[in-house]
């Protein structure tokens, strides 16, 4: 097998030269090396060194104490880019959630504590030497994901490795080796011991970094991860219809909700984890979506946005009147138009590619998207705040303030959504007075 050698940024070479010049063995490690072996562009560069944190901070003028107690110091390059430099470490004690480590003097000690062979490859940027004591490059070539050492030990050390294994296998198209898979499944019931934040971050990485996360999500089901952590999603496997998501009349029957949902998720743009999360949750009722997001402990803003996208109705059909689009924009917010259009388009593509679906459905969604953008660009009144009258205007008409004001303003907006030309003070005042007269007459009749 011919192994691709990485090409390091100049800043990495500078850091390595500085540390090596001071007598400290230094290697590039982690995802950048794995990706280079795969022939992919290398992302974040991390370095491992025999130098202790105090040595790193002494040798470099601009540093950030990211996790000095764990051996990690951020070194700032001349352009401000930060590179993490971590002292060689070895595990002393683990409990499935946290590890007690101590500093080590050799790169092999550091690689031996890593999770999978594909992540236990080091490269010396000055000698252009690849160090691969566990044959991670060979596993990548064979398409296999395997733990470093005894699989059961690796998963007992940190249960998060269950989710990491599934993420790596899905993202890089690897088959999980039999012993690794068996050990993984044996600790699935321990996953609730992990913090919600660690679980959330792994799920978002699956959705954000994998072009087709459906395979990883399917492995989550096969392994029992969904049953333990995301029972709402596991229930989708037994569902037969998608809530409030009718297919186009010419679309083929969905094989099942779970497969259909994964197909939609796979057809959304790369790097949009929250959009993909909304697609994943879209078949669920609102209370289940809320419970799911609450457990993930997303920020309030992200929780609200994902929930609203998951609950959003499809765009109006291309042939519907402009008022239908204005009502959709009013209900969901114009800023969500593009996101929901992408969800609808991914759904149409999934239906078409499943077999028997009409490709014209995709064109219909695109046309609806275009119309929605045009109508939004016209800046029509879509909210009560956009009306040419407010509560003070109603007071000037002689109406008594109270809860009735909200009902009147909502009704006025509904009237204006039918025809934006009605949004002028005189027409709105006349309409409000007429509504109040009718309400008074109705009360008198009662």
Task: Give domain limits for the chain.
Answer: 10-142, 149-299, 312-380, 385-445
For helices 196-209 and 286-296, give the axis angle rounded to 10 degrees: 110
pTM for the whole structure: 0.88
Q: For 97-120, what is the mean pLDDT? A: 89
pLDDT of residue 43: 75
How sure is the predictor about 91, in pLDDT bands with cuts at 50, 70 and 90? confident
Q: For 105-126, what is the mean pLDDT? A: 96
Taking CA 136 as the corner, what is the angle to CA 132 and CA 138, rounded to the nearest 5 degrees?
A: 105
Percent of the chain with pLDDT over 70: 91
Question: What percentage of the chain's residues is helix, strand, coil (to nearest 5)?
Answer: 55, 10, 30
Q: Give the strand pairing for 82-87 and 72-76.
A: antiparallel
Kindly report the three-state secondary structure assignment for every residue of 128-191.
CEEECCCCHHHHHHHCEECECCCHHHHHHHECHHHHHHHHHHHHHCCEECHHHHHHHHHCHHHH
pLDDT of residue 93: 60
pLDDT tens profile 30-49:
999 999 999 888 778 999 99
Q: For 64-85, what is the mean pLDDT? A: 93
Ramachandran quadrant class, 419 (left: phi over 0; alpha: psi -120 to 50; beta: rest): beta
How sure is the predictor about 244, in pLDDT bands with cuts at 50, 70 and 90? very low
Does residue 408 register a pLDDT over 70? Answer: yes
Please name which of 16, 37, 35, 269 lies closest in space to residue 135, comparing C-alpha atoms: 37
Mean pLDDT lowest for which of 99-108, 314-323, 418-427? 99-108
Q: Give the strand pairing for 89-94 and 122-124.
A: unpaired
pLDDT of residue 355: 67
Q: Answer with the residue of higher pLDDT: 146 or 438.
A: 146
**67-92 as b/e, with b when 16 or more CB fall inside 10 Å?**
ebeebbbbbebeeeebbbbbbbbbee
Please name which of 211, 210, 136 lies closest in space to residue 168, comparing C-alpha atoms: 210
CATH class of the 10-142 domain in this structure: alpha beta
pLDDT of residue 444: 56
Answer whether CATH 1.10.3090.10 is correct for domain 149-299. yes
End-to-end CA distance of the chain: 89
pLDDT of residue 79: 92
CA distance 204 to 358: 32
Identical fold between 10-142 and 149-299: no
Q: For 366-375, what is the mean pLDDT? A: 96
How sure is the predictor about 445, in pLDDT bands with cuts at 50, 70 and 90? low
């Amino acid at each position: 097998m011919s192994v691709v050698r990485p090409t390091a940024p100049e800043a990495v070479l500078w850091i390595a030269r500085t540390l090596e010049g001071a007598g400290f063995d230094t290697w590039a490690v982690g995802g950048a090396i794995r990706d280079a072996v795969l022939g992919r562009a290398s992302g974040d560069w991390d370095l491992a060194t025999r130098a202790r944190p105090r040595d790193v901070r002494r040798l470099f003028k601009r540093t950030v104490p990211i996790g000095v107690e764990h051996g990690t110091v951020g070194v700032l390059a001349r352009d401000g880019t930060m590179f993490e430099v971590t002292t060689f470490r070895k595990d002393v004690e683990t409990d499935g959630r946290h590890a007690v480590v101590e500093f080590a003097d050799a790169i092999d000690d550091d690689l031996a504590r890593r999770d999978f062979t594909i992540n236990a490859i080091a490269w010396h940027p000055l000698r252009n030497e690849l160090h691969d004591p566990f044959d991670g490059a060979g596993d990548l070539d064979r398409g296999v994901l395997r733990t470093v050492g005894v699989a059961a030990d690796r998963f007992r050390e940190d249960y998060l490795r269950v989710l990491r294994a599934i993420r790596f296998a899905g993202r890089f198209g690897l088959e999980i080796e039999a012993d690794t898979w068996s050990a993984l499944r044996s600790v699935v019931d321990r996953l609730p011991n992990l913090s919600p934040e660690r679980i959330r971050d792994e799920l978002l990485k699956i959705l954000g970094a994998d072009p087709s996360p459906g395979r990883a999500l399917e492995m989550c089901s096969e392994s029992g991860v969904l049953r333990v952590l995301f029972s709402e999603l596991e229930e989708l496997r037994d569902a037969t219809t998608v809530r409030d998501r009718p297919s186009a009349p010419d679309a083929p029957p969905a094989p099942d909700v779970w497969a259909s949902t994964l197909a939609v998720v796979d057809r959304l743009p790369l790097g949009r984890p929250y959009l993909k999360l909304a697609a994943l949750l879209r078949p669920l009722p609102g209370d289940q979506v809320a419970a799911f997001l609450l457990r993930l402990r997303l920020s309030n803003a992200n929780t609200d946005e994902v929930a609203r996208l998951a609950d959003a109705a499809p765009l109006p059909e291309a042939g519907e009147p402009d008022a239908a689009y204005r009502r959709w924009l009013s209900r969901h917010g114009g800023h969500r138009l593009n996101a929901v259009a992408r969800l609808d388009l991914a759904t149409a593509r999934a239906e078409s590619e499943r077999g028997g679906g009409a490709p014209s459905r995709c064109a219909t969604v695109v046309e609806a998207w275009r119309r929605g953008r045009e109508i939004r660009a016209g800046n029509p009144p879509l909210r009560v705040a956009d009306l040419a009258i407010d509560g003070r205007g109603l007071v000037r008409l002689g109406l008594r303030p109270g809860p009735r004001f909200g009902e009147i303003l909502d009704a006025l907006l509904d009237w204006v959504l039918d025809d934006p030309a009605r949004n002028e003070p005189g027409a709105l005042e006349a309409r409000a007075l007429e509504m109040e007269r009718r309400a008074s007459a109705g009360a008198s009749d009662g």
